[in-house]
Structure 1
């Protein structure tokens, strides 16, 4: 067993070459699988500790005043680290900083082998929540007593190291041998460790992990064969529900602190009646109803009693995972019989073992670090994953590109004769889904299945669509098409790997050139349209309608010429691929079948691209909306082409609702002023075709929420935008002082968010509040939310996706600021086209399109604040139209009745101060 010196430093900053210094050292020595020594000390720097560092670490100038100088402890550090692996979390930082300090003090730098526990964990704990020290500690059940203190961090890192070493040693020898092939390109010095483990496994009778099988040189977790059991269970639904919801019933026993909610039982019974009567149902279940359990109970009961399968569709993958990880285990404790529930996603989510095997056979010399790291973590992951679903992983950025080469989408249709057919993850999921009672999917796959004549999901007659207000928009995207420049370049680059003769490579280069010319012209076309039926969308792209009839003749001709050149070059490549396939058919090489399959897939992709370009650029389809988006500050060919039907309801009715016996659509936001008419129209249904029910929230909004609307803010349509943003920034600042941060600010425009972010930075002292802003602060939506919740005094600025799906219960969130009523900009191309269509029908686009969309969005934003019966807080609406405009009542009468105050901002802030105190 080797010796490891696990090191952590606390410093005054990130850069030792610019004078930053060490203020604390922690070293934990590990030998023979045990912690044998611990060393920790403050270090006295010759500079003041920045306030931010003191806040982060708790280390003050007073504490280090009597500490030793670094030069006085340097020899101790060198001795502890000698003849040991130098281990740290982000090892290059700690080792680099320590060596700079050693050289400054007149000592030689440490030159031992290194292990970075971030890299180690990414490979050997591929399904970790995240790779920060605190996240790994939580995942591995390691107690972290004092985060951001050197010895505590070093101790936790040592415990994580031991855990990972133990796990790595138990992997099949074949897995470690393949990792050894990749080791030269990793940052850590794993060679000696990997070699020792291989020797230990080959020359000792070590037990093999019984849950792993080795097939074709890959260690893979064994799969259980799905079984669908028949049940003799004759309890009526009424009896079952009584057992579940009774005051001392099964639910009370299974969930600690469960509070009975009348609306939850009412919704469950209503849904069961809908299934029994084979009728569609729309249910609005306001926040706090417990709608997830309210639809799962009758859905699963019906599936078990009638030997049916029920499809449950959600809009977000986050809710999918929540259903499987939290709700399904609860259901298993509530039902007296066994059942199976499975998540089904699109093919691109699943690893193709066949493609992965092929990639591993290629020499890794040309791969960059991210691809090597991805190959390594996939090798470990397949020994432990049941699903093969990429959503279990955190892939590095280039790893996502590599994933496109090894996912199930890349293998087209796997031949049943293939050696991988019985083990491939996508087929596993399909087989499980055939036997399952509950299939959990997302709106995107539900709609893909719908558009492709139901070839992806097993046949079903009953569906529950959660977050149902998104269904028609998702369907619209799937009934349309999307083409973008980056995907085209990726496809052409892939063709270079297949068509390797000089003539073909020239033709591919020519196709790339034609694509460049076409997409640069489209980029300039959008730039020139700015201000003319063009607008920014909520992620900062410029978008404009594309309609040949509105374009000048010269533009149409020139664009047509550019497009036809590119399309002809694609047709030539399709012919080349076909010839290539014919030559492969006469070849008797081992990979003939795989090569032919790959070429067929590429021919399909090229032909689909040709069809989509032709539809977008040439066909004058009056029932479709076409628009172009560009990255405002991106490359001149960062262009996206979109095409969607103007009206989706009739397509949904024909291809979904009329095909199924009972579809339940549910959400917290389906009604406007208690009416379902708008959502029914969007789904192509009449009131007599659907049962509808509204389940009110059990929360007391009048006691829990203050809705504050100031009457003295500048009006953005009459005053300068800068004056408006300056005023709201000041009010955010004042309100944040009262609520101690804990504030979510919702915008309708990314531009406004960015400007407000800059203004707020001017209002606050550096260490006063943590400002976290979508698109400015790095990270995904869930990462930004976690960061927000981890700071005591934080303000979260968000647009688009932050209006819904953000769940921050308790004291972490005390106020929601809605900057403007969430109307889509009139220049939005989709809105513009739909508005024109409504006008032609003699309808009012504002009342039938703009206003309902905005009200639904407003309800979502309002709903972010109260997530439990104990929450309380303020919704501060900066848009005076809520009170002054005639349509304002549509917003107010569509949300739960809260305490509403309309006054000058100063008085409202006084009121907020009293209310919180």
Structure 2
């Protein structure tokens, strides 16, 4: 085995070119699976260590004051790298610093073969939730005693490398050979390692019986295990009694289970609604345990009545929680007597046929694409679903995914029988055979809009996170189109048009060549139309300046809002665009007729033709949608355009939604399903379900309504505080932001950080962040802000939890679905009550409809929406029976406005304090 020198550095910053310096080195030499030498040293950097680095590593200026200069240990270190692979977790970072320091000491740059364990982990462990050293150590059960210290990190990297090499040895021969062909595109020098492993496998004659070869790819074999027999109890009530009160029940399958009366009540309500074929709304507050409370009756009903039950969630996070946590617990209770399937849209599943083709043809891939292909090759040897949500591709990997997902499989099925065992079709078959189907609101709403059902037939449905159903349904009953969508089809069509396919006959080449001018003309027409619409929006927005919540200019599109000359131009452009699309369609018909005459229509070698046909069919559909959108008026539809004022002049977004979603949902969902259960922690306003039943169109159906309170003692756990001395935001927003920053800083000193601050606009969040950066010293609090500091919502949350004293500013998605239990969160600050922007086109259209019907738009629409959003935000603070903290609301409307009581009476009963900011801070100090 080769010699590996594993290195880790701690530094004053990220960039040696900007004079950042090394403050600690750790080196481990690893040979024949054994550590043969260790070396570590602090280094005097000849500059101060930033507070952030001291916070992260624990290394202080005092500790390095008497440490050696790097030049004093340079030669000793340099010798250790001779005739070895250099290994590091992010090799470019460590090697960049080392070579800069070595060069300053007059030594040559290291040019050894390298291995980057970040890259290797991404390739060999594609399903890892993260690839930071600490995350991988947790996942692989590697002991990590002293994170962000050089020698400790180096030892962990050695253990990681050993496990990665073991994973190498387990890969199928075919996968190794395919990785070898793309090795030149990696950062790591893996050629010799891959060759050695391929030779070993060839001579050892190893063959796995767990792998199938499909379209030239090694894919995990899926063996179906038959489900056991289910024996129903004499009644569901008897079963619940056994479940909640016997030693063999929930206490045996759920670690640390505690009986909750509300959980049993909810389970009974769900089962009764199913058996009586009624719809039901169940608000289950925090701590109810609602997932188990609906899963248990769903499984019992599905098995005892032999009827399929569908469970729909809004977030993939809840889907993962169900599949990884609650469903295994339920399987223990029922003895694995039921079949469960996860079903998503076609865009989630990989097409092995297309991926195989992509591997053969990809020659000038950038690094992200090469890495994505390598990850997918390894993932195919592990996955049983082919669902892309199992892995996180690099940023550019989504372009690859657009080419290899099964979005166009229906078109492929028309022309070719070569992909009948695709992951998507397997998922459909599993769903057909399953007792319980886990799906999502998007797929459910897509199914409601299709003539032919996408999901298997079912009559019993549970909708979790049901407060999102109206919004999701509105999007799927409407339209969303942008220039980028056209552009993606153009790019893929262009690649197909210019392909010199050796299997194409001369006649095929001739037909395709004739279509190229029309394809190019179409591209120009679409670009011109979207540019014209861009200027239309901007010219009509100079006065009113309506903006979306992400800062785009908005324009409500109605023909009466468009000047006659502008509308005439739109019609002319659409006519030319339509003519070009129709010509492409006729060309494809000619090509189809030719292939049929040659008797090669279903020949698998014509996969390029299959894709071309699918893309052109999609363009025809989009052309029809664009014509309808721009030329047809419908009172039941609200349309609006959005542009990024400073963006590209063809970056236009077209949206439409129905004004009245309630009637659509009633007709397509509630009138046709036997029983739909709607559940969430936030369905009521002031203890009434009337708002949500009206919005969903089920008030007249008299659904069962059940509100289950939280078992947590909120009156002991929470203090609600509202200052009475904040400036009026309408008079001076800057003064209000200054007061907010002072309150954040004062409260953070009391709670030692551990604060989540919720905003209703990005603009105010950013202004607050900038001001806080001026008044907060870096060594006092770590400050994270959504949309300002980099990272996803989950990454920001983890960074917030990683530091002892930190403040997190969030908006939009942070109002719900973020769990920060225990001591990590002691204060939730709500800056403004979460009312919808009154200028949003959908809000305006629905408000006008309510006014015409003689109703109060504020009380019927705006207030209930804000109250439910407020409840979601409030719910971020208390996530367990032992959590404790303060909810500080900066918006005095909570106590001064007549409608404020609706907010207060919709959350659990907690002590309310209204006082000056300074006295509230004093009370917070005393209480905490």
TM-score bracket for this pair, using the shorter chain length = over 0.9
Q: 2:542 & 2:724 partners in 1: Cα distance?
A: 30
Other structure's SS at 2:363 match? helix
Q: Deviations over 1:826-856 (max 9, x none)?
A: 1111101111111222222111111111111
Q: Which residue of 2 aligns with 1:479?
A: 477
1:172 maps to 172
Tell me how many residue pairs correspond in the alignment. 913
**Aligned counterparts of 2:596 and 2:84: Cα–Cα separation in 1:** 57
Tell me what 1:328 maps to.
327
Q: Which deviates more from structure 2 when the two are superposed, residues 463-472 or residues 758-767? A: 758-767
Cα distance in 2 between the residues matched to 1:393 and 1:420: 26
Corresponding position of 1:221: 220
Q: Deviations over 1:98-146 (max 9, x none)?
A: 1111121122221111111111111111001111111111111111111
CA gap of 1:369–1:149, structure 2 versus 1, over 3 A, is: same
Q: Distance in 2 between matches of 1:888 and 1:532?
A: 33
The residue that corresponds to 1:712 in the other structure is 725
Q: Secondary structure of 1:827's partner?
A: coil
**Secondary structure of 1:659 counterpart:** coil
Alignment counterpart, residue 374 of structure 1, candidates 365, 372, 379: 372
Query: Is 1:527 aligned with 2:526?
Result: no
Structure 1's 418 and 203: CA in aligned 2 closer, same or farther, altered over 3 A? farther
Partners of 2:546 and 2:292 lie apart in 1 by 41
Report what 2:505 is aligned to: none
Contact 2:691 2:864 in 1 (8 A): yes
> Aligned pair 1:693/2:706, yes or no?
yes
Tell me the CA shift for residue 555 of structure 1: 2.5
Decide whether the 8 Å contact of 1:350 with 1:388 is kept in 2: yes
Counterpart selection for 2:391 from 393, 410, 425: 393
The residue matched to 1:752 in structure 2 has which SS? helix
Give the aligned partner of residue 509 of structure 2.
none
Report the secondary structure of 2:456's partner residue: coil
Residue of structure 1 equivalent to 2:791: 779
Contact 1:6–1:86, Cα closer than 8 Å, also in 2: yes
Partner of 1:298 in structure 2?
297
Q: Which residue of 1 aligns with 2:208?
A: 209
Is the counterpart of residue 869 in structure 1 residue 878 in structure 2?
no
TM-aligned CA deviation for residue 621 of structure 1: 1.1
CA contact (8 A) 1:324 1:341 kept: no
| Residue-by-residue CA offset, 1:155-208 (whole Å, 9 max, x unaligned) | 111111111111112211111111111111111111111111111111223x33
Which deviates further from its counterpart, 643-652 or 227-236? Answer: 227-236
**Any conservation in 1 of the 2:479–2:657 contact (CA below 8 Å)?**
yes
Question: Does 1:739 find its partner at 2:751?
Answer: yes
Q: Which residue of 1 is the match for residue 422 of structure 2? A: 424
Q: Please give the per-residue CA displacement for 1:865-901, whole angstroms capped at 9, x wherever unaligned.
A: 1111111111111111111111111111111111111
Alignment partner of 1:544: what SS? strand
Contact kept in structure 1, 2:754 and 2:806, CA below 8 Å: yes
TM-score (norm 2): 0.95
Q: Secondary structure at the match of 1:318?
A: helix
Q: Distance in 2 between matches of 1:312 and 1:300?
A: 11
How far apart, in 2, do the equivalents of 1:58 and 1:793 lie?
14
1:728 aligned onto 2:740: yes
Decide which moves more: 6-15 or 632-641. 632-641
Q: Which residue of 2 aligns with 1:5?
A: 5
- 1:859 counterpart (847, 871, 889): 871
CA-to-partner distance for each residue in 1:400-433, whole Å, 9 max, x for gaps? 0110100011333553996754531111111111
CA distance, structure 1, for counterparts of residue 772 and residue 628 of structure 2:
46
Instruction: Report the counterpart of residue 341 of structure 2 in structure 1.
Output: 342
The answer on whether the counterparts of 1:706 and 1:873 sit within 8 Å (CA) in structure 2 is yes
SS state at 1:535 partner: coil
Cα distance between partner residues in 2 of 1:676 and 1:19:
62
Give the 3 Å change call, closer, same or farther, for CA 773–615 of structure 1 in structure 2: same
Aligned-partner SS, 1:536: coil
Contact kept? 1:355, 1:411, Cα under 8 Å: no
2-structure distance, mates of 1:293, 1:184 = 50
Q: Which residue of 2 aligns with 1:439?
A: 437
With 123-132 and 429-438 compared, the bigger mean Cα shift is at: 429-438
Aligned partner (choices 558, 561, 583) of residue 550 of structure 1 = 561
Specify which of 560, 572, 585 is matched with residue 571 of structure 2.
Answer: 560
Q: Please say if 1:81 is aligned against 2:48.
A: no
Cα distance in 2 for residues equivalent to 1:726 and 1:504? 62
Contact 2:227 2:336 in 1 (8 A): no
- Using the alignment, how far apart are the partners of 2:668 and 2:287 within structure 1? 33
Structure 2 unaligned spans of 5+: 499-511
Determine if contact 1:533/1:829 at 8 Å carries over to the other structure: no
Q: Which residue of 1 aligns with 2:352?
A: 353
- Shift of the 688–503 alpha-carbon distance from structure 1 to 2, 3 Å rule, reads closer
* Aligned-residue offset at 1:686: 2.1
* 468 and 25 in structure 1: CA distance in 2 versus 1, 3 angstrom threshold: same
Q: Distance in 2 between matches of 1:807 and 1:19?
A: 40
- Give the 3-state SS of the residue equivalent to 1:366 in structure 2: coil
Q: Which residue of 1 aligns with 2:506?
A: none
Indicate the residue corresponding to 1:886 in structure 2: 898
Of residues 586-595 and 380-389 in structure 1, the stretch that sits farther from structure 2 once superposed is 586-595
Kindly indicate whether the alpha-carbon contact (under 8 Å) linking 1:816 and 1:876 is maintained by their aligned counterparts in 2: yes
Choose 108-117 or 65-74, whichever is displaced more. 65-74
Relative to structure 1, is the Cα distance of residues 576 and 843 closer, same or farther in structure 2, using a 3 angstrom cutoff? Answer: same
Cα distance 1:76–1:586, how it changes in 2: closer, same or farther (>3 A)?
farther
Query: Relative to 1, partners in 2 of residues 1:54 and 1:686: Cα closer, same or farther, differing over 3 Å?
Result: closer
Contact 2:372 2:394 in 1 (8 A): yes
Question: In 2, Cα distance between the equivalents of 1:792 and 1:235?
Answer: 54
Q: Secondary structure at the match of 1:38?
A: strand
- The 2-side partners of 1:525 and 1:416 are apart by 41
CA contact (8 A) 2:415 2:610 kept: no
Deviation per residue, 1:582-604 (Å, 9 max, x gap): 34445567545524432331232
Distance 1:416 1:493, change over 3 A: closer
Partner of 2:636: 623
Deviation at 1:365, TM superposition (A): 2.4
Name 1:118's counterpart in structure 2.
Answer: 118
Q: Identify the residue that residue 582 of structure 2 maps to in structure 1.
A: 571
Task: Tell me, in whole angstroms, the C-alpha distance in 2 between the residues paired with 1:228 and 1:532.
Answer: 66
Change (3 A) 1:796 1:399: same
Residue ranges of structure 1 left out of the alignment (5+ in a row): none
> Paired residue for 1:34?
34
Which whole-Å CA distance do the structure 1 matches of 2:375 and 2:417 have between them?
23
In structure 1, C-alpha distance between the alignment counterparts of 2:605 and 2:209, rounded to whole Å = 35
TM-score, normalised with respect to structure 1: 0.96
In 2, distance between residues paired with 1:336 and 1:532?
66
* Secondary structure in 2 matching 1:45: coil
Report the counterpart of residue 851 of structure 2 in structure 1: 839
- 1:487 positional shift: 0.9
When residues 410 and 88 of structure 1 are mapped into structure 2, their CA distance, relative to the original with a 3 A threshold, is: farther
**CA distance in 1: counterparts of 2:64 and 2:587, whole angstroms:** 72
Conserved 8 A contact 1:44-1:68: yes
Larger deviation: 644-653 or 630-639? 630-639
Change (3 A) 1:906 1:300: same
The answer to whether the Cα contact below 8 Å between 1:533 and 1:545 also exists between their aligned partners in 2 is no
Matches of 1:914 and 1:437, distance apart in 2: 54
**How far apart, CA to CA, are the structure 2 residues paired with 1:632 and 1:89?**
41
Q: What corresponds to 1:896 in structure 2?
A: 908
Offset from partner CA, 1:611-656 (integer Å, 9 cap, x none):
1101210000111010112234422222110111111111111111
Q: Deviations over 1:757-816 (max 9, x none)?
A: 111111211222111111111111111111111121111111111111111111111111
Distance in 2, Cα, partners of 1:195 & 1:626: 59
CA contact (8 A) 2:229 2:337 kept: no
Residue 849 of structure 1 pairs with residue 861 of structure 2: yes
What's the counterpart of residue 55 of structure 2?
55
